[in-house]
Chains A and B, each alone.
Chain A
């Protein structure tokens, strides 16, 4: 079911009916917020209602919100970056260039 367009339905999942990604899904893709992707639907389902309540969370609040979801691949860093991106924060700073 589409996470963007059917607020009246009781059940929301990561599976979209349309081609367009939810802005949070798009941010996950931009910020490399997923690797194997297995935990991702659960993470998205935690974050969508969280962001509705907290449209501009700081990093600590994002991490607290995520603390009930386990991810073994990402170390959470890029999940946090993706959330901040979805909230309109600038893209995460790139690491230092190759020496």
Chain B
């Protein structure tokens, strides 16, 4: 099936924010902090204002009442004993600089060149302070404080418990203890952020084009900030060139300042981020350090897990605890873990803000449990895949309540799943038994360092609160579908159209989808947490079902037939068994909106309906990834030879799009595992803020992925779907570690960290060799 949106994208006719061209458009550049941590004494922009071509230059002092910290976007769940210190980002720095790239001043000029030139005219006086960079050092009593009104750099502390871990440990046959470090990188969407704004004084309406994943919350927030009615603000998220998390409803400084300047100056204003700004000023994910232990019985059954971890939240924490709570919850995986004790401390550092990036902390949790199981298997002499099999939840255990709270504040309950067949399918697809029995010994004997990895994971997807959709049949017979969520490449123009087309019996290409424009639909939340198809898709389905009922009611009067005898197909309604007869949907739409004649009392005009869908809790997808690698012991290069994915996201609406999501996620995960690391020095300076130094996987780095779909429907929505957007990226780090370690055989290398790189892997191999020499 072809995607409805592709013709526009392929021929350069799709609108991205930077394509917005308006008469009199002004351009913006931001002066950003070069300090990770500093006392800001003064900012003088007067010389910049005097430069020809500069229309305005603003510092924090110029913002007046508009200067206020951003909103807390996700309040933390009600965990007993939770400590949470909310410190949200500010539009322009005042008094203190807290990370490199934090905006200090904004210049508006006739061109971007002039605006950037004028940045040099701004005089900043700042006294450098020692930077908070290392996670553990950040909590030392004498550590400098990122936020001085707090007594330490502690951003949050939370403990969640299930069962009695101390008892489990006391009766364990073995307790596996390790320290794990898992670092993640930039989202690195190929399109950087951009905002354009236009105030129309005649209509008294503000239009904002924004590369956001959540245009409706942005509209609501901007209206409040600017003192306008929500209906006076239209936010359009047109085509967006990749989201991956950081384009969520952040209320970034640039996002609140560009519209403000457009209103204030009475001229349209645009800012487009450059790649270097993206590295410093767009939110990231980064590191956690886990001290974890696994208590197991002799047969490999898990008795309990204890995990204590530190989470780097960066300079501010507007996204609450979503990332560390995802780590905490996703660690439990597809396994029956009777006792769990998980404690985390989130720490402020002088680095870019941490918010979800594709996977959103789930990777870290999967890495910890999967590695613990690998080490337990080795210690107990059980096959890696067998220890997993022995601990998988059984189909009769669903819905399965994990007895802790998830990021959406609902209890972490898995709705449905069938895990063992997924494992079997993966083992079959990668030909596990043959590899470990025949292929690996043969290749090893020939001097090849080949290894295999198999890891399992679950992903909480499709959380609330809700989304909505409006379906309208037009007199042309074409169907218009409007929904609030924005699109960043997930195929909404096609998937949502498919859902509606199936219900109304029309061609997918006859459903015109409008997403991400608050003038077209203004209730909803946004595209994140793998929730588009689940939540917005279910709303589209509900709206289409409601329109179908209207169609049937009207058609039964027109055709003098009972609704049960009518069929919707080919854009017509006809009597069963008479596909050529009946009446077109377009004609019915005309009759539903008559120009003359009587309308029945209580009738609504048109064939249109609006519906909403809000699940109580998310649906849980799952999967198994497996791969075969060869490691070159001289260069520590890793070649991925086979990669298979078995994936269950409930009912699959569009296999082509689901597979595309998985391909991209796996590539992102491989980047995370072996290529991408944000390298901060001890002064909080990011050392690799360019694509020359921060390596995204290229076409020669990413393998072909063979995908097997399994479908365990979710009982939580009428279509039985679960989310898939993040899945590919979640287990890759754990898989990489297991496969590479296996390839290195009995070298003594234990991989307890991600990302690796050829350099880092070489260091680990060398360290293991010298340990081996010493112990001899």
Q: Do A and B bind each other?
A: yes
The answer to whether the Cβ of A35 comes within 8 Å of any Cβ in the partner chain is: yes
The answer to whether the Cβ of B244 comes within 8 Å of any Cβ in the partner chain is: yes
The answer to whether the Cβ of B536 comes within 8 Å of any Cβ in the partner chain is: no
B753 shortest CB reach to chain A, Å: 24
Q: Are B696 and A64 in contact (CB under 8 A)?
A: no
Interface set, chain B 502-550, CB cutoff 8 A to A: none
Report B-chain residues with C-beta under 8 Å of the C-beta of A11. Answer: none
Report B-chain residues with C-beta under 8 Å of the C-beta of A71. Answer: 190, 699
Q: CB-nearest residue of chain A relative to B662?
A: A75
Q: Are A35 and B702 in contact (CB under 8 A)?
A: no
Q: Are B240 and A36 in contact (CB under 8 A)?
A: yes
Q: Are B699 and A63 in contact (CB under 8 A)?
A: yes
Q: Main SS of chain A's interface residues?
A: loop
The answer to whether the Cβ of B6 comes within 8 Å of any Cβ in the partner chain is: yes
Interface set, chain B 646-705, CB cutoff 8 A to A: 652, 655-657, 659-660, 663-668, 691, 696, 698-700, 702, 704-705
- Pick the residue among A13, A35, A67, A96 that contacts B664 (CB under 8 A): A35
**A interface footprint on B286-306 (CB within 8 Å = 1, 0 otherwise):** 000000000000000000000
**How far is it, in angstroms, between the C-alpha of A78 and the C-alpha of B369 when the chains are bound?**
32
The answer to whether the Cβ of A66 comes within 8 Å of any Cβ in the partner chain is: yes
Interface set, chain A 8-52, CB cutoff 8 A to B: 13-16, 21, 25, 28-30, 32, 34-41, 44
The answer to whether the Cβ of B110 comes within 8 Å of any Cβ in the partner chain is: no
A24 shortest CB reach to chain B, Å: 9
Report B-chain residues with C-beta under 8 Å of the C-beta of A67. Answer: 698-700
Q: Are A15 and B12 in contact (CB under 8 A)?
A: yes
Q: CB-nearest residue of chain B relative to A79?
A: B699
Report A-chain residues with C-beta under 8 Å of the C-beta of B2. Answer: 29-30
Q: Are B708 and A99 in contact (CB under 8 A)?
A: yes
Report B-chain residues with C-beta under 8 Å of the C-beta of A72. Answer: 187-190, 242, 244, 664, 667-668, 696
Chain B residues with a Cβ closer than 8 Å to the other chain, count: 56
The answer to whether the Cβ of A86 comes within 8 Å of any Cβ in the partner chain is: no
Report B-chain residues with C-beta under 8 Å of the C-beta of A14. Answer: 10-12
Report which residue of A29, A36, A37 has the largest number of chain B beta carbons within 10 angstroms of its beta carbon. A36
Q: Are B3 and A36 in contact (CB under 8 A)?
A: no
Report A-chain residues with C-beta under 8 Å of the C-beta of B240. Answer: 36
**How far is it, in angstroms, between the C-alpha of A63 and the C-alpha of B640 when the chains are bound?**
15
Q: Are A32 and B10 in contact (CB under 8 A)?
A: no
Q: Are B6 and A34 in contact (CB under 8 A)?
A: yes
Q: CB-nearest residue of chain A relative to B645?
A: A95
Q: CB-nearest residue of chain B relative to A37?
A: B9
Q: Are A38 and B698 in contact (CB under 8 A)?
A: no
B392 shortest CB reach to chain A, Å: 16
Q: Are B489 and A64 in contact (CB under 8 A)?
A: no
The answer to whether the Cβ of B613 comes within 8 Å of any Cβ in the partner chain is: no
Report B-chain residues with C-beta under 8 Å of the C-beta of A76. Answer: 663, 667, 698-699, 702
Given A75-B667, A77-B704, verify A38-B660 contact (CB < 8 Å). Answer: no
Q: Are B242 and A73 in contact (CB under 8 A)?
A: yes
A38 shortest CB reach to chain B, Å: 3
- Pick the residue among A37, A64, A74 that contacts B239 (CB under 8 A): A37
Q: CB-nearest residue of chain B relative to A71?
A: B190
- Pick the residue among B652, B699, B702, B704 that contacts A98 (CB under 8 A): B652
Q: Are A77 and B488 in contact (CB under 8 A)?
A: no
Report A-chain residues with C-beta under 8 Å of the C-beta of B665. Answer: 75
Q: Are A96 and B188 in contact (CB under 8 A)?
A: no
**How far is it, in angstroms, between the C-alpha of A64 and the C-alpha of B191 when the chains are bound?**
23
11 sample A-B contacts, Cβ–Cβ < 8 Å, listed by A number: A15-B11, A29-B3, A36-B488, A37-B10, A70-B190, A70-B696, A72-B244, A76-B698, A77-B705, A98-B710, A99-B708
Beyond A32-B656, A34-B10, 8 additional contacts (C-beta under 8 Å) are A29-B3, A38-B242, A72-B242, A75-B665, A77-B705, A95-B709, A96-B706, A99-B421
